[in-house]
Amino acid sequence: MATGGTIAGVEFLGIAKPVRIGDNNIRIRHIFLLESYPMNADQLIMDIASRSRLAARTLAASDGGTRAAAIDAMASAIRQAEAAILTANALDLDAGAAAGLSGAMLDRLKLDSARVEAMAAALEQIAAQDDPIGATISSYTRDDGLVIEQRRVGIGVIGIIFESRPNVTADAAGLCLKSGNACILRGGKEALHSNLAIAAAVRTGVVAAGLPEDCVTMIETTDREMVGAMARAEGGIDVIIPRGGEGLIRAVAAAATIPVIKHYNGICHVYIHAAADADMAREIILNAKAQRPGVCNAAETLLVDAARAELLPELATALGEAGVTLRCCEKTLAVLSAAGISGDTIQPATAEDWATEYLNLTLSVKLVDDLAAAVEHIATYASGHTEAIVTADADAANAFVTAVDSASVMVNASTRFADGGEYGLGAEIGISTDKLHARGPVGALGLTTYKWVVTGTGHVRG
């Protein structure tokens, strides 16, 4: 790949040559910086972060119009760089095919004209969102005249570690910029060329709007030492957001001494209460399971109240027609068997099933005694993502909403609505299954914090 000049047609200032660090086979590629780094991974991250910090300080003093213009410019630059991005992507696809990546992995990696346009359009949507920065969250004037305010500000420097979907490069950069943050991105090695081409375009847009290029930095490594270095970059990086498989996320959480916004998995439940409308129950579980089974807000377990066991045959038939395989508790199997429903797609559940995020057309099914038993099952097995109740009884709905300790609790609605776009948050950086700072879908607002601004006229404390 070129150093200086253009990268597959995108103008840029330079890309550091991959540099080996120590004996650890770490290659570092800091785009637009030509220096090589005779440093270890921790020093290198702190060095990059110091540049990001300066950029963040400029961002803190910028206005929302400038940030929105920069994001629009990022979108334009991505459109202009389409050919370059697709050329870079072809390199990744070739390498991925040669490395034996699965068809699903290659599909996640693949860009085409429509996907590049979708990246640009997503950036324009982010640009058009309300400015999350600068608002006064609270303000009061004390009797002695001292004014105490909370003002919303960017967090500062955000580290994002992600696996092979290259569109995350643009999305993450746009959301961070929108919320007044510099970002340090570390993508998966399978998408190296694609990510660099997208980041190059993004930085072109940032600079075109008069903001520092270090608002967005992409680093690349061939092993995970940089991940650990990012996770312990106290004072350098303010929060780390890992996006990818559970192994990556657990590794980041274990290594981290800085705050992490994370999402382990989505073991989502639909509970059909005694007072459920039968048609509504069927439509909701069909949608929650089968409309898009590979995503985290799809349902994995159906809990049916014992008072409505008679619904099981109809539900099983409808789910079977949608291609869903059922893993059933013994009582459910007995009810289905009595109704003459059996076959390859009706299977007994093992203990493991209740704790499994299938991400495919499999659904575990359990008959539960009552609402309390449903809540207890959810407390034991749910991942804190999204659970739903179907009921016509408002008291039951309230009891469920109060007792279920998940980021999203749905009443008579599909779990599939748990999404930043559906909630009106705009684009999302992820869905948090943690409870602190940001819970559930995290949009630009979730990438902000506040500062206390106290204004006096010479006030001293007595």
Q: Which of 249, 245, 269 is nearest to 366 (CA)?
A: 269
Q: Of 116 and 252, which CB lies nearer to a second copy in the complex structure?
A: 252
Residue 454 touching a second copy (CB under 8 A): yes
* String of contacts with a second copy for each residue 255-294, x by CB under 8 A: -xx-xxx---------------x-xx--xx-xxx--x---
Q: Provide the minimum distance between the beta carbon of 288 and a second copy in the complex, in angstroms, as a whole number.
A: 8
Provide the pairing of β-strand 430-432 with 440-442: antiparallel
Q: Of 51 and 203, which CB lies nearer to a second copy in the complex structure?
A: 51
- What tokens were used for 100? 């034996």
According to CB under 8 A, which residues from 352 to 391 bind a second copy? Answer: 379
CA separation for the pair 205, 123 (Å, rounded): 11
According to CB under 8 A, which residues from 144 to 173 bind a second copy? Answer: 146, 148, 155-156
Residue 246 touching a second copy (CB under 8 A): no
User: Which residues are 178's β-sheet partners?
Assistant: none
CB 416 within 8 A of CB 297: yes
Q: Of 207 and 409, which CB lies nearer to a second copy in the complex structure?
A: 409
Q: Can you point out the beta strands (E) in 78-231?
A: 136-141, 147-154, 157-162, 182-186, 216-219
Q: Provide the minimum distance between the beta carbon of 150 and a second copy in the complex, in angstroms, as a whole number.
A: 9
Among 42, 47, 370, 434, binds a second copy (CB under 8 A): 434
Q: Of 287 and 332, which CB lies nearer to a second copy in the complex structure?
A: 287
Residue 137 touching a second copy (CB under 8 A): no
CB 150 within 8 A of CB 451: yes
Q: Provide the minimum distance between the beta carbon of 53 and a second copy in the complex, in angstroms, as a whole number.
A: 8
First to last CA, the chain: 65
Could you give the 3-state DSSP secondary structure of residue 214? Answer: helix
Residue 99 touching a second copy (CB under 8 A): no
Among 81, 198, 215, 418, binds a second copy (CB under 8 A): 418
| Cα three-residue angle 317-323-324, rounded to 5 degrees | 75
- What tokens were used for 281? 């129950």
* String of contacts with a second copy for each residue 52-71, x by CB under 8 A: -x---x--xx----------
Among 69, 73, 270, 409, binds a second copy (CB under 8 A): 409
Q: Which of 226, 260, 228, 256 is nearest to 243 (CA)?
A: 260
Q: Of 105 and 401, which CB lies nearer to a second copy in the complex structure?
A: 401
Provide the pairing of β-strand 5-7 with 10-12: antiparallel
Q: How far is CA 127 from CA 12, 177, 296, in A?
A: 23, 9, 26
Residue 440 touching a second copy (CB under 8 A): yes
CA separation for the pair 222, 135 (Å, rounded): 41
Residue for token pair 């990012």: 230
Residue 437 touching a second copy (CB under 8 A): yes
Among 410, 427, 442, 444, binds a second copy (CB under 8 A): 410
Q: Of 194 and 386, which CB lies nearer to a second copy in the complex structure?
A: 386
CA separation for the pair 445, 130 (Å, rounded): 10
| Residues 6+ positions from 26 with CB-CB distance below 8 Å | 20, 41, 221, 222, 223, 225, 226
Q: DSSP string covering 320-380, please?
A: HHTT-EEEE-HHHHHHHHHTT--STTEEEPPGGGGG----SSEEEEEEESSHHHHHHHHHH
Residue 139 touching a second copy (CB under 8 A): no
Residue 247 touching a second copy (CB under 8 A): no
The stretch among 72-80, 113-121, 164-172, 418-426 that binds a second copy (CB under 8 A) is 418-426
Among 129, 179, 217, 408, binds a second copy (CB under 8 A): 408
Could you give the 3-state DSSP secondary structure of residue 160? Answer: strand
Q: Of 20 and 250, which CB lies nearer to a second copy in the complex structure?
A: 250
Q: Provide the minimum distance between the beta carbon of 223 and a second copy in the complex, in angstroms, as a whole number.
A: 22
Residue 436 touching a second copy (CB under 8 A): yes
Residue 435 touching a second copy (CB under 8 A): yes
Residue 439 touching a second copy (CB under 8 A): yes
Residue 433 touching a second copy (CB under 8 A): no
Q: Provide the minimum distance between the beta carbon of 84 and a second copy in the complex, in angstroms, as a whole number.
A: 35
Q: Of 60 and 106, which CB lies nearer to a second copy in the complex structure?
A: 60
The DSSP 8-state label assigned to residue 162 in this structure reads E
